[in-house]
Amino acid sequence: MMGEKRRRLEKWIGAVIIPEFRPVGGESPEALERRPSEAYLRRFPPLGLIGFGRRMPDGLRIEGLEALTGDLVQSANRIIGRPPFVCADLECGAGYHLPGASLLPPARALAAAESTLPGAVAAAAERTGREARAAGIDLVLAPVLDVNTNPANPIIGVRAFGRTVDEVTTAGRDFVQGLHSAGAGACIKHYPGHGDTHQDSHLTLPTILRSVEELEQCELAPFHRVLGDTASGPLAVMVAHLDVPALTGEPGLPTSLSAAVIDGMRRDGFDGVVMTDGLAMLSVSDLPDLGVRSLAAGCDALLAPISELTMAEQLLEAVLEGRLCEQRLEQAAKRMERLRDQLTARPVPTLSHGLPDADRLARAALRASPDFAGCRQDFLGKSPQLIGTANFEGIALDLGAREQAAPREPVPLVAITGSQNIAGNGASGLDSVTASQVLTALQEGQAASRKTGFVWFGAPEGLLGEHLAAFRAQLAKWGTPTLVAFAPSELMVRVVGEMLASTSDNFPGDKS
C-alpha cells in the first residue's frame, strides 16, 4: 500500500515541477545539453517543460532548441505515455529563443505602433503564437502586465506596454487574444506587479513600499481586469519574487511564498495555474524548503528549479512527514493536468503570411515617436554623422564607409545611446555621465551650424529622471529632436540604421 501511495505522490510531484532544458552551449559556451534524465522522467513524470535558446548573461541565441524540444517531447511521450506541454519566454517573438523565427519589437514598441499600425499588438502576438506552436512550444510566458512607473527599473522597462493601467490593460488583452487565436496559451506576469522597483529580482528581492490602496489602483489593476475575462483570459499567471509587505503582511516574505497574495489573485474566480517565476533566481534560490513553501502558499507550478530532482525529493519528504498537505499537492497537480490537456489539444495552425513582419512593426513603432516629424526633417534619410556607444558602432561604421557627394549643407550630427532591460544585467535609463557626453558631442554640431539629433534605444521614461532635467532642457533649447527606438536589439538597431541611411525618396515604411 505504501508503494502505491509513494508512486501516486511521485506522479503528482512530477506534475507540479517544470524542469528546464537547453541545447549545447545554452548555459555557457562550453556547456553540455541540459535536459531532465530518463530516470527522472520515469519517476517524476512532468506535465510541463521550459525551453531556453538564449544564453545568459550575454544574450546570445543558441541553435538547437527546436530540435531538442521535439526530441525531448518525443522521449517523454515514449516513457510516460503522454506528451508534456512546453513553455518559453517569448515576449519579443518566437525568435527570442529560436534562431530563424521572428524577433519582434518589445512590448512598449508594439503598444506605440498601435497609433500608426492599428492591431499591431494582436498581430505580433498571433505571429508569436503561430511560430511557437510550429516549433513545438505550447505556452508563451507573456504578456507582461507590469505598469512601468519607476524610471529606474532595470528589468521591466520596455518589456511593459506602458506607464498607465489603461495602456497595459488594453495591450495585454490584445496580446492574450492574439496568442489564443494562434492556438497558443498565454501566461500573464509578473503578479502582483514588478513595475515600481529599482532592483532586479534575478539578483535580489526587490521591495515595493506601497499601500494596498495604491497597489489596487496601479500594480494590481491590469491583472485583475484581464483575469476578469473568464471566458477569454489567460490560462496561467506567473507570480513574481517581490517583497510587498502591504500584501503579504510580513516584510521580507517573497510574494511567491505568500498565501495572502495568491488568494488575492484568485479573488475574481480564476482557477487556472499559478506559476512561480524561476526558482533559480537569486531572490529566492537560497531559501529553505522553497518548493514546499511555494506549493503550500497556493502555487501550482514550480518553474525551473536549480535541480528538479532535488526539489522533487524535498517535496516527497515533506508530504510523507506531514509538512506539506497531500490534498494541496493533488489540487496543484490536477490544475497542471488540465492545463496540459488544454494546450496539447489545440491544433497547430499554419503560418500566416498576412501578418505584419518584424520590420513593419518596428517601423510603425518608430514612426509613433513624438518627435518623429522633427527627426525626419532634420536627420532621418540624410545619412548623418553618428556618435554613439560601443553597442551601435556597427551602424556608424556602415554609414561612415559610404562615399557621399559633397553635401549642399552641413551633414547632421546624431548622438545615439541606449539601455537594455535584460535579466541580471539590465540598465535603468540614461545616466548623468552619458548624458553629459551626448551634450558635449552635440554642442560641436551646434557650434558648426549643423542639424543635431538624438536616438535613444530605451524606454521613453528612461529619459525622464530628475537628474536629466538639464539634459532635456538643453535639447529643447537647441531644437534637437529625439527618436525613441525602445531597445538596442538587433532588429531595432538595424531598422533605425536603414532609416538613417535611406534617401528621402525611398524612406523605409512610408507606405506601411
Distance CA 122, CA 232 (A): 14
Q: Are residues 275 and 383 in the same domain?
A: no
Question: Which helix (DSSP H) or strand (DSSP E) does residue 222 occupy?
Answer: helix 220-227
Res. 16 pLDDT band, cuts 50 70 90 = very high
82/55: higher pLDDT:
82
> Per-residue pLDDT averaged across 462-491, rounded?
92
Q: Is the pLDDT of residue 1 over 80?
A: no
Taking Cα atoms as reference points, which of 224, 221, 285 lies closest to residue 254? Answer: 285
- Is 12 inside any structural domain? no
Q: Is the pLDDT of residue 206 over 70?
A: yes
> Per-residue pLDDT averaged across 221-228, rounded?
94
> Per-residue pLDDT averaged across 465-479, rounded?
93
Question: How far lies 272's CA from each of 139, 140, 235, in Å?
Answer: 13, 15, 6
Domain end call among 309, 344, 379: 344
Q: Are residues 297 and 198 in the same domain?
A: yes
Q: Is the pLDDT of residue 505 over 50?
A: no
- Is 8 inside any structural domain? no
DSSP-derived secondary structure for 15-37: HHEE-EEB-TTSSSTTPPPB---
Distance CA 329, CA 313 (A): 14
- Is 160 inside any structural domain? yes
- Is 52 inside any structural domain? no
pTM: 0.92
- At residue 409, the pLDDT reads 67
- At residue 397, the pLDDT reads 35
For the stretch 119-158, pLDDT in tens is 999 999 999 999 999 999 999 999 999 999 988 888 888 9
Cα–Cα–Cα angle for 371, 415, 482, nearest 5°? 10
- Is 351 inside any structural domain? no
Q: Domain limits at 186?
A: 83-344
Q: Is the pLDDT of residue 424 over 60?
A: no
CATH number of the domain residue 281 falls in:
3.20.20.300
Q: Are residues 149 and 266 in the same domain?
A: yes
Q: Are residues 340 and 413 in the same domain?
A: no
For the stretch 87-126, pLDDT in tens is 999 999 999 999 989 999 999 999 999 999 999 999 999 9
Q: Are residues 292 and 375 in the same domain?
A: no
> Per-residue pLDDT averaged across 18-35, rounded?
91
Query: Using CA atoms in the order 88, 93, 97, 99, what is the torsion angle rounded to 10 degrees?
Result: 150
Q: Is the pLDDT of residue 510 over 80?
A: no
202 is catalytic: yes
Domain end call among 344, 379, 413: 344
Domain end call among 310, 344, 378: 344
- Over pLDDT 70: what percentage of the chain? 91
- Is 40 inside any structural domain? no
- At residue 396, the pLDDT reads 42
Instruction: Give the total number of structural domains in the chain.
Output: 2
For the stretch 5-14, pLDDT in tens is 999 999 999 9
Q: Are residues 395 and 324 in the same domain?
A: no
Cα–Cα–Cα angle for 142, 143, 149, nearest 5°? 130
198 is catalytic: no
Q: Is the pLDDT of residue 393 over 80?
A: no
Phi, psi of 329 (to 5 degrees): -60, -45
**51: DSSP letter:** E
- At residue 390, the pLDDT reads 38
Q: Are residues 225 and 116 in the same domain?
A: yes
Res. 28 pLDDT band, cuts 50 70 90 = confident
Assess contact for 105 and 91: CB atoms under 8 A: no
Which stretches does DSSP call E strand in 254-312?
273-276, 302-303
Question: How far lies 505's CA from each of 380, 381, 510, 511, in Å?
Answer: 12, 9, 10, 12
Q: Which of 97, 202, 224, 241 is catalytic?
A: 202
- At residue 244, the pLDDT reads 96
Contacts of residue 324, defined as CB under 8 A and 6 or more positions apart, other chains included, come to 292, 295, 296, 315, 318
Q: Are residues 124 and 256 in the same domain?
A: yes
Question: How far lies 471's CA from each of 378, 386, 405, 467, 475, in Å?
Answer: 19, 19, 34, 8, 6
> Per-residue pLDDT averaged across 356-367, rounded?
95
- At residue 77, the pLDDT reads 95
Q: Which of 138, 200, 243, 277 is catalytic?
A: 277
> Per-residue pLDDT averaged across 397-421, rounded?
63
Distance CA 378, CA 443 (A): 16
Q: Are residues 317 and 413 in the same domain?
A: no
Q: Are residues 179 and 293 in the same domain?
A: yes
Q: Are residues 290 and 387 in the same domain?
A: no
- Is 5 inside any structural domain? no
Cα–Cα–Cα angle for 171, 177, 182, nearest 5°? 130
CATH number of the domain residue 493 falls in:
3.40.50
Q: What pairs with residue 482 in β-bridges?
A: 454
- Is 3 inside any structural domain? no
Q: Are residues 231 and 375 in the same domain?
A: no
- At residue 466, the pLDDT reads 87
